[in-house]
Structure 1
Amino acid sequence: MTIDIREAYRRALDDFGALVHRIEPDQWQTRTPCVDWDVRALVNHVVRENLGAPELLAGRSAAEIGDIFDGDLLGDDPIKAFDASAMGAVQAASSDHSLTCVTRLSFGDVSGAEYIAELFADALIHTWDLARAIGADERLDPELVEACTAWFADAENDYRQAGVIGKPQSVPSGTDPQTRLLASWGRVARPCPSA
């Protein structure tokens, strides 16, 4: 990976957060590319991931956390809920031990670096999902797309076997990197124009 995974994660969350701040009151129930999720459910999912990150990076297991972060985490102020959760997640991921700690996830133990990479990829792909849902610019940061593509090359089979991503979409040869990455995650995206 060409960029520090902690920096990539921070930037992906920043980009997602910028879109959260642009959600209009009538867009929270808008459907997203994620099956069964509207905008509110998508943001709630990212907030849940954000709230779990400090706990897991501090050594608690997914089993110990249990269902603490289930249900609606957005309350009456979804933007404030997102901002607070993102700040905590980024602080936890930036700690000195975050890359070398062992995180005990529901499917097994992984290094902190691998867990942060998973959080980064989730935030990046969901940034596109949110942009598509609210009609915002769908172009993702090219450096983050490159980093996610490199990481996902080794992780795709595990994700596919776990059933947590959509069926890969076929794209013509010569398709831009962002569209190829999104297609590998099961997204149908329009080709991304050059910046």
Structure 2
Amino acid sequence: MHDLVNHIVGEHLWAPLLLAGATVAEVGDRFDGDVLGNDPVKAWDRAQRESNAAFHRPGALDIDVHTSGGMTPGVEYAWQMTSDLAVHAWDLARGIGADDTLDEELASSVYAYIEPEVDSWQGIGVFAPPVKIADSARTQDRLVALLGRRP
């Protein structure tokens, strides 16, 4: 679970810099390795607070952002980060044996964003291949299955 939380915190440490116009090269390796230190909760609180502020800055969603995938519209970057948080919330809940239920509106919105894109992500190491489940399955199950997880 440490690696998952470290990944999530690291992603949110990047956001303020990228949304301020930094390139991936300018951020460099400053968030490589363990970004949690001795207090993972404090590390998360700081990262999410600064990321949240950066995304809510006026005009943040109207700019193009440097990402590892190239220049990305700010609104697209926000969707990527939201999707990452939603799916990893499910991963974390599963990993620690907690309730893995996602908010239905969140699951539906993220599914609607990801479903048309998932085929283009195959083979680049973003997610495992989709898992087959019934079309009648609840939205969150279809979402995580689409991203290679077994609900």
Do both proteins adopt the same fold according to a TM-score greater than 0.5, normalized to the shorter chain?
yes
State the partner residue of 1:44: 6
Q: What amino acid maps onto 1:101 in structure 2? A: I
Q: What amino acid maps onto 1:48 in structure 2? A: G
Aligned CA-pair RMSD: 0.9
Q: Distance in 2 between matches of 1:176 and 1:148?
A: 13
Alignment map for 1:1-195 (pairs within 5 Å): 39-189=1-151
Give, in angstroms, the shift of residue 67 of structure 1: 0.9
Q: What amino acid maps onto 2:141 in structure 1? A: T
Q: What amino acid maps onto 2:40 in structure 1? A: P
Higher RCO (CA 8 Å, separation ≥ 6 residues): 1
Q: Which runs of 5 or more structure 2 residues have no equivalent in the other structure? A: none
Q: 1:148 aligns to what SS in structure 2?
A: helix
Q: Distance in 1 between matches of 2:128 and 2:40?
A: 27
Q: Displaced runs of 4+ in structure 1, greater than 2 A?
A: none
Aligned residues between the structures: 151
Q: Distance in 1 between matches of 2:2 and 2:32?
A: 14
Q: Identity of counterpart residues, as a percentage? A: 40
Q: 2:62 aligns to what SS in structure 1?
A: coil
Q: Distance in 1 between matches of 2:23 and 2:119?
A: 24
Q: Distance in 2 between matches of 1:97 and 1:154?
A: 26
Q: Which runs of 5 or more structure 1 residues have no equivalent in the other structure? A: 1-38, 190-195
* Residues 135 and 142, structure 2, Cα contact 8 Å, conserved in 1: no
Give, in angstroms, the shift of residue 161 of structure 1: 3.6
* Residues 63 and 106, structure 1, Cα contact 8 Å, conserved in 2: no
